[in-house]
Structure 1
Amino acid sequence: MQKINDLNTAWISRGQQVSDLADKMQAAALNDEFSKEDYEKLSNEYDQAVAQRDAAKHSLDIARANQKPANTEIDDKGDNPKPVNTKINTNKNKLTFANKFVGMMKGDPKIVDEMTSSTDVNGNQIGLTIPLDQQTAIHQLVRQYQSLEPFVNVEAVSTISGSRVWEKFQDITPLANLDDETAEIGSNDDPALTLVKYQIHRYAGISTITNTLLQDSAENLMAYLNNWIARKVVVTRNQKILEAVGNQSKKPTISKFDDVIHTLNTSLDPAIAATSTIFTNVSGFDVLSQVKDAKGRYLIQPDVTDPSKKQINGTPVVVVSDRWLPDNAGSHPFIFGDLTQGVTLFDREQMSLLSTNVGAGAFENDTNKVRVIDRFDVEIADDGAFVNGSFKDIPDQVPTAPTAPTASTTGTGK
């Protein structure tokens, strides 16, 4: 059984690789800076991935055909073996969900009726709600990708809309001096409170599941589905987090070495700057990592406690793939701040699935379509907790010329 699972995983993995390489080939063909050598390299990788995918599928079919039922007992007539259940599955929630999902995919009337009777506030069918333990598995997979979610504040909510009150950092004035014993005590400057409203939105996508995959074990089906949802969750939530960050009005433009230091020193309250992080993409990090100060020292330095981590003047630098944190009109991002205080993701925690083998082109292709819906909202909680800067090319800091000795300091030897 383990061999079959490994072959199935390899088949799915190679299939995803084939899809990714096909996308890269299409992008390369449309690129104005087309390179014949790079395209031929991608084409060779694509052919190799297709061959490996087909080989994995062929081996999987052979392994399934040769599989013999294990742990069987003979029925009353002695001629029909029946499986013996030697293990008790203690994860009842996962088992129930897997069974319901398979039942949904196969059109079990009981499961279908149970789902279609459930609707959200807008009257839309919710489908099969993913349980919390399964959501945990999905979020564990999310960590394998470059998700921005761990860097912001995430709050679980149980309603589709609501509001929160946050106190922003502000200048604090001293208490009034009351030398007169009979003087009236005035009011303090109360904290500046901000009302932040959220409205949960629905984000959805459809995945195609082949009948071959549907006939596989429930565990492998769940693994495929979880991986697909995890990728979609990362892309969707990263996009909405970046949209919220992009609404920040403080957008310093960095054009030289001193601008970087000036932004770190003056753009945020010192209390927030102490817990802040710099976010940029791979292209931006490549530019920053080559910038030198007047003494020839690189702007970006390794963390002395962990050389694999980078920092600028003690502020950690997080590098995100260009795919997840893209350039904007040729400018690289330079997000500086504490996003856990600046941005909040309100998570409805009510992912749901619904399937069809008739609509969305499934009938014509003899496949099954699965729709997943994620529910969340992203709002700025404190726009004073971060700045959204940008930069292109940053020249090295101009070396300081040595000071020429003056006549008064030049010795005559007499």
Structure 2
Amino acid sequence: MKRTTVVGMLTGTLILAVAAQAGDCPRFRGPQGDGVFPETGLAKQWPQDGPKLAWSADGLGPGYSSAVVVDGTVYVTGMDDQNQGVLYALGEDGARKWKVAYGPEFVRTGPAPTGTRGTPTVDGDRVFVMTGFTQLVILDANKGRAVKIIDLLERFGAEPARFGFAESVLVDGRRVICTPGGPDASLVALDRDTGETIWQTKGLGEPSGYCSARLVSHDGRMLVLTMLANSVVAVDAGSGEVVWQHEYPHRAAVQPNPPLYADGMVYVASGMGTGGAMLPLVQAGVAARWTDKTLDCQMQGTVLLDGHIYGTAQSGNRGLVCLDWKTGQVRWNAPETKMGVVVAADGMLYVYTQDGTMILVQPSPDGYKPVSQFTISAGTDEHWAHPTIANGRLYVRRGDTLLVYDVRSGS
């Protein structure tokens, strides 16, 4: 692994109640899973060549999952030459603390390339990794050893995922919530320490849609919100009761984008021309408030900022798109950005396109306002991993390489 020296650390506000430093990111797409990272004091413009590279680590092996950062440790997965999944723990300077092989990972050619998929979730002294073969691996976050491996296909009678199972599990107290998609087990909650089943969604046996669930508060009730192969569902976090379900079919049953939620409304988006919809989180069968075909986001995620949705489209001559949250009106689209992952921090959009361009954008309903950009040239394979922003740093994973940039103001 190659490393350089890290310069400083910025603390912010941590939203999830986990044993972590302020500004950490314990899971996929930010502490709330909505693509917004609770950072402050970040640069609003980058130098011409991009922000300073703090350090890099290569030799991780194939992978499409993101890095997460908790309590001074960076966790990221990859694969070795024996096709074993490997969890790496790196320090703030990129130095390796430990690595551990945790079992077979997904190997396939064609539309489902080889590599790790699910981003680790860190909670206290545990790291939770879901493999492409739907095995939940629970590891010691400090010592780097697997303490339990649970085969969800075997336990819940689920079917293997065509493109390799992909999920960053949701930890809610002692409950580890995931979506194996078996009969009476679209969603399940397992005990974080024993691995025993706490609840499963009886009567709901829809396959997984490759989506990572989110926890939202609605009408005084904590709900697990996620996309399945052909619908969006809300499940009571404590009991597993299916509170709400809305059919939203996708022709390939691929719906990886975590839904957005605000003020009792749920926004979902899928690729291949499916588009998006705004749904009231009330009784089942209520019609969508609005639908849209412009923003057919494939697997790059969407964010909600100041009453507007931002994401990139898969189909047609489109790139970054801005929609009005209340009406679904297309405020603008920027074809020049191409398709790419969209996340946000400190009031700015970070767009990581599939040609390797990282673009800093000022969000505005009045038009596309790019500020700075640079090219991610290191690493291997596709530019698919979602960036992580934590403690003033931008973590970009591309195949076997993790690149860490200092994006603090004045850096």
Please give the range of the TM-score, normalised by the shorter of the 2 chains. Answer: under 0.3
Per the normalisation by structure 1, the TM-score is 0.19
Q: Which has the larger radius of gyration?
A: 1
Per the normalisation by structure 2, the TM-score is 0.19
More strand by share: 2
